[in-house]
């Protein structure tokens, strides 16, 4: 694509300093496109301008440094820069509110706000996960003749650099031209493009996250049943899967958290007039796992006199993102019952966290909430109670 004659940039990514926008921008810039990351977060902009990644994204930092140095990547807090790019990709957050309703109005108001910087011949690509029909509403807001595409992100957080070049990219649009241009743009970085209708693409993204969330709920429900029966779920799972392919997809138990799975399951539910029994059941099970762990501990310990350590505060293994992590919910429930609680994490920095060694020394009960690699094979003294959903730690003899 190279530099466009009419536009200074090939791509502007709005929300370009976020978990989705930043690795995407870095990968496009590494392919030789002129990319501008547009954002409102000055603190993160200062970090990224120095060539530092503000969060863990494996393999991204050397590429970030390279594309800053060769001038392919620009960072701007001035929304006027959106008007300088041929393609505008929107990757801002799309949360649900405190009652689990999608904040669609906020997303449309955002478009109302940036409209002054948009040009009719630009391609507008929505990358954020959206409530169905949102793209159509964006088009209604912009007006007839605009090119609006939806190219959802399906990458597992922390591994975008690897997965952007491995996963097919879904491309949908509200005109043939939008689909064609979005396909051309993403074919610069994706191995292949799957063109679908808009409604299909919107559901592909929501179904994918709800599907994962429900699978985790099945595992978590099995974990609770096995524990009530004094049986180790991981051992059952191991036997179920050994030489038996039909059970291979059964996941381990564990906290199913983070900013996407629950939120997208609830978006789907809202879209289907709150008629998504499996989604709601999954939420009750997954969100109920911390309560289940605490209830079992309460049967054995007077929590008012017990110190409990939580190993792993990120929402999943080997990343530093604590957004919507269930480890904090677990800590809150424990404190409510009077326990002294220590937090530790290998990647997320927080002055209130302690090292894993200190946590093990201080706590009578240790809960492995996230299976960070650093906990694998870690020896824990025999006199400590360990709740280890993944069986990653070892008891010291």
Ligand X SMILES: NC(=O)c1ccc[n+]([C@@H]2O[C@H](COP(=O)([O-])OP(=O)(O)OC[C@H]3O[C@@H](n4cnc5c(N)ncnc54)[C@H](O)[C@@H]3O)[C@@H](O)[C@H]2O)c1
Residues that bind ligand X (CB under 6 A): 14-15, 17-21, 38-41, 91-94, 110, 128-129, 153, 155, 157, 259-260
Question: Of the two residues 150 and 342, which places its CB atom closer to ligand X in the complex?
Answer: 150
Q: Which is nearer to ligand X, 142 or 250 (CB)?
A: 142
Nearest to 291 by CA among 331, 249, 238: 331
Question: Closest separation between CB of residue 309 and ligand X, Å?
Answer: 28
CB of 321 to ligand X, least distance (A): 8
Q: What are phi and psi of 311, to 5 degrees?
A: -95, 115
Minimum CB separation from ligand X for residue 208, in Å?
Answer: 9
Residue number, 14 or 380, with CB nearest to ligand X: 14
Shortest approach of ligand X to residue 209 CB, angstroms? 8
Closest distance of CB 242 from ligand X, Å: 32
Indicate the residue whose CB is closest to ligand X. Answer: 18
- Beta carbon nearer to ligand X, 128 or 325: 128
Of 110 and 271, the one with the shorter C-beta distance to ligand X is: 110
What minimum distance in Å lies between the beta carbon of 95 and ligand X? 8
Q: How far is the CB of 91 from ligand X (least distance, A)?
A: 5
Complex with ligand X: residue 111 or 223, whichever CB lies closer:
111
Smaller CB separation from ligand X, 16 or 290: 16
């Amino acid at each position: 694509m190279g530099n466009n004659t009419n536009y200074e940039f090939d791509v502007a990514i709005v929300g370009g300093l976020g978990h989705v926008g930043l690795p995407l921008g870095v990968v496009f810039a590494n392919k030789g496109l002129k990319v501008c990351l547009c954002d409102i977060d000055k603190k993160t902009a200062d970090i990224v301008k120095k060539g530092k990644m503000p969060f863990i994204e494996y393999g991204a930092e050397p590429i970030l440094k390279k594309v800053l140095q060769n001038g392919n990547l620009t960072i701007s807090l001035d929304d006027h820069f959106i008007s300088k790019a041929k393609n505008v990709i929107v990757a801002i957050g799309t949360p649900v509110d405190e009652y689990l309703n999608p904040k669609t109005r906020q997303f449309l108001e955002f478009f109302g706000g940036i409209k002054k910087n948009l040009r009719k011949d630009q391609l507008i690509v929505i990358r954020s996960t959206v409530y169905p029909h949102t793209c159509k509403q964006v088009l209604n807001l912009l007006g007839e003749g605009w090119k609006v595409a939806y190219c959802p992100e399906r990458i597992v957080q922390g591994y975008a650099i690897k997965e952007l070049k491995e996963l097919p990219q879904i491309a949908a649009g509200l005109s043939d031209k939008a689909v064609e241009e979005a396909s051309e743009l993403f074919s610069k970085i994706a191995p292949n493009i799957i063109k679908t209708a808009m409604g299909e693409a919107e559901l592909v993204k929501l179904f994918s996250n709800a599907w994962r969330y429900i699978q985790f709920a099945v595992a978590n429900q099995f974990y609770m049943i096995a524990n009530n029966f004094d049986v180790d779920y991981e051992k059952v799972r191991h036997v179920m899967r050994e030489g038996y392919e039909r059970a291979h997809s059964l996941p381990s138990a564990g906290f199913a958290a983070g900013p996407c799975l629950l939120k997208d399951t609830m978006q789907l539910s809202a879209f289907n007039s709150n008629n998504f029994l499996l989604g709601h059941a999954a939420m009750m099970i997954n969100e109920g796992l911390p309560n289940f762990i605490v209830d079992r501990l309460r049967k054995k310990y007077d929590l008012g006199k017990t110190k409990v350590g939580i190993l792993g505060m990120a929402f999943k293994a080997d990343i530093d993102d604590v957004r919507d992590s269930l480890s904090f919910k677990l800590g809150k429930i424990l404190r409510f019952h009077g326990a002294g609680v220590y937090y530790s994490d290998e990647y997320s920095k927080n002055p209130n966290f302690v090292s894993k060694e200190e946590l093990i020394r201080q706590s009578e009960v240790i809960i492995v909430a996230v299976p960070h690699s650093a906990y694998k094979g870690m020896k824990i003294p025999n006199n400590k109670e360990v709740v280890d959903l993944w069986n990653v730690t070892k008891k010291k003899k």
